[in-house]
Amino acid sequence: MFSAHLRVSDAAHSARVLQEATDALRTRFDVYFSTLQVEQECLDEQAASDIDITRTPPAQG
């Protein structure tokens, strides 16, 4: 089970990005059940950035 938001800058590419992400999850990671949301703007930006694994964690205070 996998869930994610995919941000694309150009909505014209949404369908292709969704297809490629779905294919990559299956072929590269053996994930067969995924819920992917394609968006240009995240409506939960603050919460999303808190768990964005591509970002460097903030320095601990």
Contacting positions for Zn ion (CB under 5 A): 5, 42
CB of 52 to Zn ion, least distance (A): 10
CB of 23 to Zn ion, least distance (A): 21
Please give the Cα distance from 8 to 31 (Å, whole number).
22
| Cβ distance to Zn ion smaller for residue 20 or 39 | 39
Burial category of 16 from C-beta neighbours within 10 Å (exposed 0-12, middle 13-18, buried 19 and up)? exposed
| Cβ distance to Zn ion smaller for residue 25 or 42 | 42
Q: Which amino acid is at 15?
A: A
